[in-house]
């Protein structure tokens, strides 16, 4: 992979990772348009690894919150009187919520990296999940805050998150934000929780791919391009996080929903006309 393509894909990842529009879907489309074989082990690993850059951006952006959660969780394990701390409950929510996606990712790893990378799957998931998001976005009584999150919320949202690797196009953030709103979290709280829930899942996925597919990366994409794409995604994602939090504090997700449907329809047109293959 040349460095221009690595930079372009890093920008795409950085912009879309936390927006509810499917970063994997966008990367798959752009990789396809650039002429890459999307189910090639090296490309699949590259896609997973550059997502770590975006997650590092989230860790940097929310570093104080993350430290508070870690400290509160460890303290609560040994001191019962500290277990009412919202950060202690958040710790359990993230831990328990990360289990479903880890299980799904390991059990269906081969299908996720091959069969389910089809462009038809991406297009269908983009469109179908848009209606789920629209329903979630119109829930009444979205008045729970981030301090109200419990382990039950974590498990519920984690089950939704587990759908995202199976069907690229659903969007991990789209799934978790929707689930948060189904649990009556306000839009900002659902979005913040989505960031926290994504950290263990995407770091683990990227780490696994970097170890298990190291030789595939070396022989196809190349580690220089992979590192460049990861760094670019980190920088772009940091600003994307700040923008998204400001946006959802004043707006609904309608714009994202319309965009998802339009993108899904556009992909179908490309497939039907033979511009790209599945």
Q: What was the pLDDT predicted at 208?
A: 72
pLDDT of 41 = 78
Query: pLDDT digits over 241-264, tens only?
Result: 999 999 998 888 999 999 999 999
For the chain, helix (H) and strand (E) counts, in that order, are 14, 0
Inter-CA distances, 167 with 99, 107, 124, 171, Å: 18, 14, 9, 8
Q: What's the whole-number mean pLDDT along residues 64-90?
A: 92
Q: How many CA atoms, within 13 angstroms, populate the side-chain half-sphere of residue 73?
A: 16
pLDDT, one tens digit per residue, over 27-64 is 888 888 888 887 777 788 888 888 889 989 999 999 99
The per-residue pLDDT of the chain, averaged, comes to 88
Is a pLDDT exceeding 80 seen at residue 112? Answer: no
Report the Cα 118 to chain-centroid distance in Å: 18
Report d(CA 22, CA 10) in Å as an integer.
Answer: 14
Over residues 164-189, the pLDDT tens digits come to: 888 888 888 899 999 999 999 999 99
Q: What is the DSSP letter of 253?
A: S
Q: What is the pLDDT of residues 116-129, one digit of tens each?
A: 678 888 899 999 99
Cα Rg of the chain, angstroms: 18
- The mean pLDDT value for 79-95 works out to 91
Contacts of 277 (CB under 8 A, 6+ apart): 32, 119, 271
pTM of the full predicted structure? 0.86
Q: Tokens 């934000």 correspond to what residue?
A: 177
Residue 211, token pair as written in the block: 């170890």
How many degrees, rounded to 5, is the angle at CA 154 between CA 152 and CA 155? 70
45's tokens: 């690993």
- HSE-CB at 134 with a 13 A cutoff on CA atoms is 13
How high is the pLDDT of residue 113? 64
With beta carbons less than 8 A apart as the criterion, state whether 229 and 9 touch.
yes
| For the chain, percent of residues with pLDDT exceeding 90 | 50
Cβ distance 201 to 55 under 8 Å? no
* 185 beta partners: 144
Dig out the tokens for 275 from the structure. Answer: 């511009």
> 77-81, 133-137, 201-205: which has the minimum mean pLDDT?
201-205
């Amino acid at each position: 992979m040349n460095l221009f393509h690595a930079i372009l894909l890093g920008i795409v990842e950085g912009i879309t990772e936390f927006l509810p529009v499917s970063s994997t879907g966008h990367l798959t489309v752009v990789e396809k348009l650039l002429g890459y074989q999307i189910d090639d082990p090296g490309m699949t690993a590259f896609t997973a690894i550059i997502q770590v850059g975006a997650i590092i951006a989230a860790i940097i952006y929310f570093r104080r919150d993350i430290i508070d959660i870690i400290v509160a969780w460890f303290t609560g394990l040994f001191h019962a009187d500290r277990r009412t701390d919202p950060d202690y409950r958040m710790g359990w929510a993230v831990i328990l919520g990360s289990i479903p996606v880890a299980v799904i990712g390991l059990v269906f790893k081969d299908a996720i990296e091959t069969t389910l990378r089809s462009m038809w799957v991406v297009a269908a998931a983009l469109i179908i999940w848009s209606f789920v998001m629209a329903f979630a976005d119109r829930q009444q009584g979205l008045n729970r805050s981030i301090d109200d999150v419990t382990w039950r919320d974590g498990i519920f949202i984690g089950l939704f998150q587990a759908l995202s690797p199976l069907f690229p196009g659903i969007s991990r953030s789209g799934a978790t934000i929707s689930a948060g709103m189904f649990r009556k979290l306000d839009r900002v709280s659902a979005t913040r929780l989505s960031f926290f829930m994504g950290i263990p899942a995407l770091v683990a996925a990227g780490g696994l791919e970097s170890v298990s597919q190291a030789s595939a990366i070396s022989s196809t994409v190349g580690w220089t391009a992979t590192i460049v794409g990861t760094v670019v995604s980190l920088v772009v994602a940091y600003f994307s996080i700040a923008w998204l939090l400001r946006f959802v504090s004043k707006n609904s997700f309608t714009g994202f929903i319309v965009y998802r449907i339009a993108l899904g329809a556009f992909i179908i047109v490309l497939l039907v006309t033979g511009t790209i293959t599945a």
